[in-house]
Structure 1
Amino acid sequence: MESKAINLGNSLLVPCVQELARDKSLTTIPPRYIRPNHQQPIASDAGTEIPVIDMQSLLSQGSMEVELAKLDFACREWGFF
């Protein structure tokens, strides 16, 4: 299968998300796709709260159910993941 990558202007050529998802050897999210908490987007509409899913919590027995409920809500109500 031919590798697909995205060239973002003058930036580095990076693999597309679909290619990363197919890579079975990938065990962690590449750092370039993780935003520090201080860089997280803020909703401009005060009545709208963007769901934030902690992927690590999905693996924890103690917080899995709560995080799965948030993930379910995000997928159903926001229509994307």
Structure 2
Amino acid sequence: MFARARVFWDLPEQARRMGESRHAPQGTVLTALGAVLTGRSPGRDGDGDITVFDSSGFGLQDLCLGLALLKKMDITL
């Protein structure tokens, strides 16, 4: 999966040590989510892209991100 995916993370100091990224092959590029949100790095290039988000931060961050994504996709719970 990592060979074909773009990998994004929230906390760089934890991504390789504790998150899903610790299973990524050496050399896998980890893109900071903050860099994407501020326009310093590109996000997805197209609908066929495979992305992995390695959220190793706080559970509240995960919840807020999930709710923001649902809102962006106009999905209500």
Q: Which has the higher contact order (CA 8 A, sep 6+)?
A: 2
TM-score (norm 1): 0.30
TM-score (norm 2): 0.31
In proportion to residue count, which structure has more strand? 2
In proportion to residue count, which structure has more helix? 1
